[in-house]
Amino acid sequence: MWSRLRHLLRLRADTTALATPPPPAPVRWAPPAGWIARRRTHTAAYAGLDADGVARARALAPAAARRVLEAAARALRHEFDLLGSGPFVPVDPDRPVREGYQPIDWYLDPVRHLRFPRGVPHTEWRLYEMRPGNADVKYPWELARCQHWVTLGQAWRLTGDDRFAREIVDQLDDFVEANPVGIGINWTCTMDVALRVVSWVMALDLVRDCEGIDEAARARAYTALFDHGVFIRGNLENTYEVTSNHFLSNVLGLWFLAAAFEDLPDGQAWGAFAREALEAEIDVQVLPDGADFESSVPYHRLVAELFLGGARLADHRGQPLSAHYRARVRDMIAYLAGVQRPDGLMPQSGDADDGRLHVMGGTGMTTPQDPRHLFGPAAVMFDEPAWLAAGGEAGVWEAAWWGLPLPAAVPDEGRLPPVTRLFPDAGHAVVRDDGLYLLITNSIVGTKGFGNHKHHDQLGFEYHVGGVPVVVDPGSYVYTSDAAARNLFRSTRYHSTLSVDGEEQHEMNPEWLFRLFEQGHAEHLSFGEAGGWVEYRGRHVGYTRLPAPVTHERRIRLQRATGRLEIEDVLSGSGTHALAWHFHLAPGVEASVAGGSARLATGAGTVLLAWPSGVDARVSDAWESPSYGVRRACRAVDLSAEVSLHGDAVFRFTMAPEAHAS
């Protein structure tokens, strides 16, 4: 098997310069006689709804069904909307239409209208040297995950229209032709190869009954899937300083392949490896309080989905993972439910790239900031009715396509349960009570100090009142395509906290877009509630590396009954320093400054922000990013002062609805 892979990876688009004849083409695995017919008798993964199940899901969640069919119609037209691109149709300029099928351009950055080079072996790929201009490789990677194939498979089961099923096979043949194994950018990140596998396995399961797909097409599909398994096993992303969501995705790809090829020695070997790795990674990547260790709420959602999908596949195959594993996954969902905003969305604390295990609700049909689909399957798997209500119709629809029992009706989407909790390992303190919400961030540099998805957000916060966001995390926006924007969105000065002398809270080389060096050493001093006030006190020492060191301690108090927020910053140190406070406002919140306060006009009324004397204020233009590649104009209130420290200095601020501001 491995010799075949090595031969595949030696292939080049141009062999004319070889001094000796090329080696013979490798012998690829092909399904044995009768294998395809046996494979069609059962589902490898869990999305195998029968006709009655499809009818029930459609009756319970009609809006979700409509979204899936709309998304599938777009996929038939090869119309995609990925990572903030807006609608685009990637037409391959190098390959002509054949039998009515227009080949897809799998190498396109649709935002910058640039194409990545073809024919480069993955072992020779160098992003910054070989990409055209500032093209963003995440666009072709995202398309090549083929997550719209599950949408096509669902549409076939909903309608019986063979066009949706045949489109999956046509696109598979198209992809294989344009992306030979190991050649081109769509083989340069094993994570994306593995997530593509999940999409293919699920989609082929969904159309297993379609008579419009002949056995030869199915054989080509499973041969290509087998090639993916060989590639993933030989190119695991576990050679860095620490494993992360990339390696976990590799493992999930092999886990799904093991289900598809469970009767073959290779499939059994992949499964044994994946099971052991899943059981190990749940302890490597999940903190004691249930949070993903990468210091990012959006990445937590991805990793929780990966681990939850792993558990569901094990149950589906009748080979459950350990009770310890399941308990840890449950902790992950509890954390996600705990930090969820009153509007149901995730706070964008840390990086976000919209990653998913698979998409059951129609590709491109919901905001990536919405995690509610995940509460449906988790509610059924862990017997948590409150999560089913939190997931609403999206959660019920998702649970159905995970092959789980459905409720008699979609639960009423009541308000989320109140939360007052400190997640000490994640570094998040949260208060949620109806439309009131406060999230305080004071976290470690994640991924065991690698800091790949961490932002400079120590002692920053997000604040909602009256069900309306007022102060929000700015989000992440983009990665490699715009280094300046990448560094701005993760900088101290773009988060609702204090910066000293323009320094970042952690050491950062601006050329290292996925690395921070721990300097802040976050510390939780206290958290509790008394007399109707919830109070958090925390500290970090990121500014002690300045020539005149400074320690920043912050106390934040929230009054439940009124929504009044009080912030007290204590700076300990010596010397003269330039201080800058930033309050990042949600899109739609307008600000005006008069004297020692600012009026913040929101959809639910006016909030007043007040600060101490001797502080200068201005309203600035800013950006907020709800998902990868998307940014929305917003405003910020920026305060500044120059001070001479001789021991401790205290600065107090308040934010409150106008009626409670005095």
Q: What is the pLDDT of residue 27?
A: 62
CA 469 to chain centre: 21
Q: By C-alpha distance, which of 487, 490, 408 is closest to 441?
A: 490
In a domain, 178, yes or no: yes
In a domain, 34, yes or no: no
In a domain, 255, yes or no: yes
Q: Domain holding 433: CATH number?
A: 2.70.98.70
Q: What is the pTM of this model?
A: 0.94
Domain match, 379 and 431 both: no
In a domain, 39, yes or no: no
Q: Measuring CA to CA, how many Å separate 311 from each of 131, 164, 326?
A: 38, 29, 7
Q: What is the pLDDT of residue 58?
A: 95
Q: Measuring CA to CA, how many Å separate 203 from each of 151, 213, 262, 364?
A: 8, 13, 17, 17
In a domain, 338, yes or no: yes
Domain match, 202 and 301 both: yes
Three state DSSP letters for 185-232: HHHCCHHHHHHHHHHHHHHHHHCCCCCCCCHHHHHHHHHHHHHHHHHH
Q: For 427-471, how does the pLDDT look when each residue is reduced to its tens digit (9 = 90+)?
A: 999 999 989 999 999 999 999 998 999 999 999 999 999 999 999
Domain match, 484 and 628 both: yes
Domain match, 604 and 557 both: yes
Q: Which of 366, 401, 436 is the last residue of a domain?
A: 401
By the 10 Å C-beta count (0-12 exposed, 13-18 middle, 19+ buried), 633 is classed as exposed
Domain match, 296 and 356 both: yes
In a domain, 99, yes or no: yes
Question: Which residues is 556 bridged to in the sheet?
Answer: 536, 567
Question: Which residues is 462 bridged to in the sheet?
Answer: 439
Domain match, 354 and 501 both: no
The secondary structure element, H or E, covering residue 627 is: strand 616-627
Residue 104 and residue 171 in contact, taking contact as beta carbons nearer than 8 Å: yes
Can you list the residues of the chain whose pLDDT is less than 70?
1-27, 413-414
Task: Give the range of the structural domain holding residue 389, as residue numbers without chain letter.
Answer: 47-401
Regarding beta strands 630-657 and 114-115, do their DSSP bridges make them parallel or antiparallel, or are they unpaired?
unpaired
Domain match, 391 and 481 both: no
Entry field: residues in the chain:
662
Domain match, 113 and 199 both: yes
Measure the CA–CA gap between 351 and 535, rounded to whole angstroms: 27
In a domain, 585, yes or no: yes
Q: Which of 368, 401, 434 is the last residue of a domain?
A: 401
**Number of structural domains the chain divides into:** 2
Q: Which of 346, 369, 401 is the last residue of a domain?
A: 401
Q: What secondary structure does DSSP assign to 48-117, as a single string? A: ---HHHHHHHHHH-HHHHHHHHHHHHHHHTT-B--TT--SB--B-TTS--BTTB--B-TTEETTTTEEPP
Domain match, 155 and 290 both: yes
In a domain, 1, yes or no: no
Q: What is the pLDDT of residue 7?
A: 31
Domain match, 303 and 189 both: yes
Q: By C-alpha distance, which of 324, 255, 280, 332 is closest to 301?
A: 332
Q: Measuring CA to CA, how many Å separate 570 from each of 509, 613, 644?
A: 28, 16, 13
3-state SS assignment for residue 333? helix
Domain match, 174 and 119 both: yes
Question: Which residues is 654 bridged to in the sheet?
Answer: 566, 610
Q: What secondary structure does DSSP assign to 561-605, as a single string? A: TT--EEEEEEEEEEEEEEEEEEEEBPTT-EEEEETTEEEEEETTE
Q: Domain holding 83: CATH number?
A: 1.50.10.100
Q: What secondary structure does DSSP assign to 269-304, as a single string? A: HHHHHHHHHHHHHHHHSB-TTS-BTTS-HHHHHHHH
Q: What is the pLDDT of residue 604?
A: 87
Two tokens at 450? 């690698």
Measure the CA–CA gap between 306 and 301, rounded to whole angstroms: 9
By the 10 Å C-beta count (0-12 exposed, 13-18 middle, 19+ buried), 25 is classed as exposed
Q: Measuring CA to CA, how many Å separate 349 from each of 39, 160, 542?
A: 43, 42, 19
Domain match, 554 and 589 both: yes
Q: What is the pLDDT of residue 662?
A: 75
